[in-house]
Amino acid sequence: MNLLRLYERYFARQIYAVFAFILFAVLSLFIFFDLLNELQDVGAGYTMLIAFAHVALQAPTRIYEMMPVAVLISAIYVCSQMASQSEYTILRVAGLDIRHALWSLIKLGIPLAIATFLVGEFIGPKAEEFAQKVRLQALGATVSSGFRTGVWVKDRAAGQEGGSEVTRFVNVGALAADQSMSNVKIYEFDSQYRLRTIRVAATGHYEGNQVWKLSGVTETTFIDLPPAPGNADALAPGFRAEQNNLATLPMHSELTPQILSVLLVRPERMSTIDLFQYVRHLRDNKQDTQRYEIAFWKKLIYPFTIFVMMALALPFAYLHARAGAVGIKVFGGIMLGLSFHLVNTLFSHVGLINTWPPIISALLPGALYLFLALGALRWVDRH
């Protein structure tokens, strides 16, 4: 046991040091390419300093995305180094078997998995949202400016007299960086899906407690008319319209800035809490949730891929120097890590296209590489 603890401490120092170096190198590379991509927007309002701030704020998201790859490369490098210098052979002679070595790697991966979860859940999404706000404010743009008809959102609310629930379809022409809305159109239907009210507002600001303050409102209300006796004309109007102009109008709504923030951040870069709330909102409004459910399950499962990468690196410790140079093994680790990143992204799209259960789409990439790791460990144990 003393030997095992000594081995774990030595292994931890080696892996963590190499991991920090590799993560720094990969992050620097991504920051360089992201900064090059920002140069096309640099102008009068969007300065080089703002571009660098935008890229720097995206760094936590890049760290989160590349954590498993960096763990795999660092673990493979350390295992290959120990194999080439016969250090691992000495440990095996001293009684270190595959199960103890795998358990040691899993314990070393726990702090890295926790760090991955914290970055992906708290630091990354907030930094990403703030980065998009900085960019939009500098460019003077809005989130929905790329859509021809704005953004459509389904909403529900109680009736004005406390009656049955009404359904709204809200069209947001533009969402500013401060999460205020402009050019808002609201189509309100009753429980029988008959159009009752159309509201057009110049702007909308969130007041808290699920209340939006609409300004510059034009409200058109449709009121049913009693049928005329003996009138069987199907083309005769059965309603009349009343129009009012209001300076301000409060609107109770399930929509919140947190829900609308999905327009600022891609689902894959949102926190699990925000994804859960938005999925619940979509379900309540009977809308498709698969894309966001896949992102939700991927966020939950992603930190556990650290352990899969550790298990995938262990077989390289059993390949001696004559089986290949350390550089070749590290190159193989880089290819394995990149392939996992690509497969993980691919299965999200494949699952979405084929309408697979979201948890299956999220689990399959990690499960495939886990089986690959276990198969490799079984092979090196027999040979």
Residue 367 lies inside a defined structural domain of this protein: yes
Dump pLDDT digits (tens) for 151-166. Answer: 788 887 766 545 567 8
- Burial (0-12, 13-18, 19+ Cβ within 10 Å), 74: buried
Average per-residue pLDDT for the chain: 85
Residues 18, 123 within the same domain? yes
Question: Could you tell me the pLDDT band of residue 323, with boundaries at 50, 70 and 90?
Answer: very low
Residue 274 lies inside a defined structural domain of this protein: no
Residues 170, 129 within the same domain? no
Residues 121, 22 within the same domain? yes
Residues 248, 314 within the same domain? no
Residue 266 lies inside a defined structural domain of this protein: no
The Cα angle at residue 213 between residues 211 and 215, in degrees rounded to 5: 160
Residues 120, 180 within the same domain? no
Residue 171 lies inside a defined structural domain of this protein: yes
Residues 180, 237 within the same domain? yes
Residues 123, 166 within the same domain? no
> Is the pLDDT at 144 greater than 80, yes or no?
no
> Is the pLDDT at 1 greater than 70, yes or no?
no
Contacts of residue 381, Cβ cutoff 8 Å, sequence gap at least 6: 98
Residue 135 lies inside a defined structural domain of this protein: yes
Give the separation between CA 128 and CA 134, rounded to whole angstroms.
Answer: 10
SS3 letters for the chain? CHHHHHHHHHHHHHHHHHHHHHHHHHHHHHHHHHHHHHHHHCCCCCCHHHHHHHHHHCHHHHHHHHHHHHHHHHHHHHHHHHHHCCHHHHHHHCCCCHHHHHHHHHHHHHHHHHHHHHHHHHHHHHHHHHHHHHHHHHHCCCHHHHCCCCEEEEEEECCCCCCCCEEEEEEEEEECCCCCEEEEEEEEECCCCCEEEEEEEEEEEEEECCEEEEEEEEEEEEEECCCCCCCCCCCCCCEEEEEEEEEEEEEECCCCHHHHHHHCCCHHHCCHHHHHHHHHHHHHCCCCCHHHHHHHHHHHHHHHHHHHHHHHHHHHHHCCHHHCCHHHHHHHHHHHHHHHHHHHHHHHHHHHHCCCCHHHHHHHHHHHHHHHHHHHHHHHHHC
Question: Could you tell me the pLDDT band of residue 340, with boundaries at 50, 70 and 90?
Answer: very high
Q: Tally the domains of the chain.
A: 2
Question: Domain containing 212: what range?
Answer: 147-261
Last residue of a domain, one of 220, 238, 261: 261
Residues 132, 153 within the same domain? no
**Crossing angle for the helix pair 305-313 and 59-84, to the nearest 10 degrees:** 20
Residue 175 lies inside a defined structural domain of this protein: yes
Residue 271 lies inside a defined structural domain of this protein: no
Give mean pLDDT, residues 343-357.
91
Dump pLDDT digits (tens) for 69-103. Answer: 999 999 999 988 888 888 888 888 877 888 888 99
Question: Could you tell me the pLDDT band of residue 175, with boundaries at 50, 70 and 90?
Answer: confident
Last residue of a domain, one of 241, 261, 281: 261
Give mean pLDDT, residues 8-21.
92
Residues 209, 322 within the same domain? no
Strand partners, 242: 221
For residue 151, the model assigns a pLDDT of: 79
Q: Are 317 and 79 in contact (CB under 8 A)?
A: yes
Percent of the chain clearing pLDDT 70 (strictly above): 89
Of residues 198 and 255, the one with the higher pLDDT is 198
Residues 20, 108 within the same domain? yes
For residue 237, the model assigns a pLDDT of: 59
The structure tokens 């009138």 sit at 231
- Backbone phi and psi for residue 181, each to the nearest 5 degrees, phi listed first: -100, 155
Residue 269 lies inside a defined structural domain of this protein: no
Last residue of a domain, one of 261, 279, 301: 261
Residues 213, 157 within the same domain? yes
> Is the pLDDT at 263 greater than 70, yes or no?
no
Residues 135, 164 within the same domain? no
